[in-house]
Structure 1
């Protein structure tokens, strides 16, 4: 077991920016999407859409142009849906009551967005993981894992070929497949979740760990080191070995979500030290060094709090957090310091339920997309300058968000 550490974030350089909205301007090099397609190959290439942003709202999904944030499509769906990038820079997995439904945003094409008829069946669909050219879907109601080649999403006219890895006992879990075929999956049942199991490409169990109560979330760092969050720390899988990292707060110091870069050895995780705390705002962050096998906890400055929707990795492997004060705060995972702050939305409070709309952030290249449910809008922020480069005024209240972009 490794010794935990506690650090406090310094404010470092705080760079404020004006919120002048330039609705049709962006520093992105991606060309703006055209509204019509052409049969001529050169024209079709020129008309191909750039990034697309999918925004879930009550009863539907908007698809927005990633540069202007204008609405490209408004698609009917269920009352509450979750959105996850499918991994191919074009499609989004929409979590519905039937399973994972495929949304074609038409990013990178001259086509029209479509909520397709392709549904990967799942009893209580949960986590979506993208890694090593595979998209992995987890069904909480059965603990079955569905694996498909990510590239097949674009090349197939119908349902892509899939492999189903049967589960053992139903629980809210997650799985991942590594480049060599190694399969990692959580272990649990109706009474709780306890740890992970590792299988080789033939299906043989090669490692297990049951010292991870409430195991939740997964992230893969540089060199395919995988981290799973626990209610008292984290598990790190590295080259066939599982290491348990203890949280500094015992018996409860929970990490349940991991924000990763596959070019960085450091994982940024959420952190909660009070099991009975009301609301969903968090004021501490976990930093896991997958090389040193250490878990540090950073205390954020007063007034800077976030939720599970509020953190993303972006340029230079930094972490970008839309906090309750309405600003994007830039966190250097290597030092635990906040290095900049960019005002974006008004201050906000914790949602009553986790499903309720509240500010969310996702990043594509140098652009962060931030939802503003209180104003029924969405903003694009250039992370190299902190400037709000576009704002989309919506006729609905945005909830979850996902971006499709190369």
Structure 2
């Protein structure tokens, strides 16, 4: 285990809650960089009063941790570089991708503890995807192709003692930007690739012996597990499905039909994926989604309302298995994944344009239970919304321009 000096943190007073008539809700994982720096200060008094969910946000130069109900700022932690955040799977911690690896941010969710960027680091050259499934957490290091696996609950149990949980490391033949997911029976599904290309997925049993592979998934990216623990992966020409020990390729309706991100629930057999049918398109705004029925092994493409686009950060699934999209028109659009029809639409923020680079800040959406959170970089604000009714529950101005978001607790 390797650690690094605890990052000093600067805590700021909670920002006054503002009201708005708007609505709210965020989204891929890749490499990141960042070095800690800064001055320490006292924890906001609101931290002691909060025992609910917490929100971690990145901005250029730091991290913000908010109370998930009031949206008060509980901590402002200086951290240089472009950093990424993903829930760690223990209900409290967030993985922050930095130059050293996956650094553990203790949000204090579900407790009266103040947030802290700990000195616990899972070392990983070019840290990439973080996957949580069936009580296990998988960390993929793009720089080596290695997958680090641990029991999610053990992270929280060991963090208090200042140590990392026991881990398993599974190597890849070559380094690549990849992803892994472990199923309940111990099967590890992990991508196949090189620094120059990615071609498919292989299955390793609990002894880490390869049992089957499929290399008909060019540019494999994005993963998820739907009802029945059927695993799905996006390809540049469709989707790869792993079910009952075998892979099935579901071809896209277009010769080039890329799915790079999977939005899934464990109670629906439908995978929602982003969809791009134009290999020459510029920018990162898309205008269609793919709906993959993993039981029927079929898919169809659904277009967004006329004039509306989105990016990978702007799709989420709701508690009733619908999909919800934060469009470039600034509204939330609810999609019935069984019928493929868009229903309710709620205005949230002003219309926005897609980013010039994928790392650039732009509106992001995430749903936690019945609450949707949406960030608005144009106004450095965040909104909490009741997904069922569209009622704005809280809004807050932020100390920095929000980029990535993760909710825990």
Q: What is the TM-score with the length of structure 1 in the denominator?
A: 0.88
Deviation, structure 1 residue 168:
1.0
Instruction: Answer whether contact 1:187 1:197 (CA < 8 A) is retained.
Output: yes
Counterpart for residue 20 of structure 1: 21
Once superposed, which parts of structure 1, at least 4 consecutive aligned residues long, lie more than 6 Å away? none
Matched position secondary structure for 1:153: helix
Q: Deviations 1:257-290 (Å, cap 9, x if unpaired)?
A: 0000011110100000011101111001011111
Given the alignment of the two structures, is residue 106 of structure 1 paired with residue 105 of structure 2, yes or no?
Answer: no
Counterpart for residue 82 of structure 1: 84
Instruction: Answer whether contact 1:95 1:101 (CA < 8 A) is retained.
Output: yes
Counterpart for residue 191 of structure 1: 196
Aligned residues: 368
Counterpart for residue 14 of structure 2: none
Counterpart for residue 393 of structure 1: 397
Which of residues 55, 58, 62 in structure 2 aligns to 1:56? Answer: 58
Where do residues 147-296 of structure 1 align in structure 2 (5 Å cutoff)? Answer: 147-156=149-158, 157=161, 158-250=163-255, 252-296=256-300
CA RMSD, aligned part only?
1.5
Deviation, structure 1 residue 21:
6.6
Instruction: Answer whether contact 1:217 1:256 (CA < 8 A) is retained.
Output: yes
Distance 1:387 1:296 in 2: 32
Structure 2 vs 1, CA of residues 267 and 140 (structure 1 numbering), >3 Å: closer, same or farther? same
Distance 2:22 2:300 in 1: 38
Gaps of 5+ in 1: 1-17, 23-32, 38-46
Instruction: Answer whether contact 1:19 1:343 (CA < 8 A) is retained.
Output: no
Gaps of 5+ in 2: 1-18, 24-43
Distance 1:209 1:287 in 2: 22
Counterpart for residue 382 of structure 2: 378
Instruction: Answer whether contact 2:50 2:67 (CA < 8 A) is retained.
Output: no
Distance 2:51 2:365 in 1: 22
Q: What is the TM-score with the length of structure 2 in the denominator?
A: 0.88
Instruction: Answer whether contact 2:22 2:348 (CA < 8 A) is retained.
Output: no
Counterpart for residue 137 of structure 2: 135
Matched position secondary structure for 1:312: strand
Deviation, structure 1 residue 19:
5.0
Which of residues 134, 140, 148 in structure 2 aligns to 1:146? Answer: 148
Matched position secondary structure for 1:152: helix
Matched position secondary structure for 1:339: strand
Counterpart for residue 343 of structure 1: 347
Instruction: Answer whether contact 1:229 1:254 (CA < 8 A) is retained.
Output: yes
Which of residues 26, 46, 49 in structure 2 aligns to 1:35? Answer: 46
Instruction: Answer whether contact 1:96 1:125 (CA < 8 A) is retained.
Output: yes
Matched position secondary structure for 2:378: helix
Structure 2 vs 1, CA of residues 21 and 278 (structure 1 numbering), >3 Å: closer, same or farther? closer
Matched position secondary structure for 2:320: helix
Deviation, structure 1 residue 36:
6.6
Q: Deviations 1:128-153 (Å, cap 9, x if unpaired)?
A: 00001100000011100000110011
Given the alignment of the two structures, is residue 361 of structure 1 paired with residue 358 of structure 2, yes or no?
Answer: no
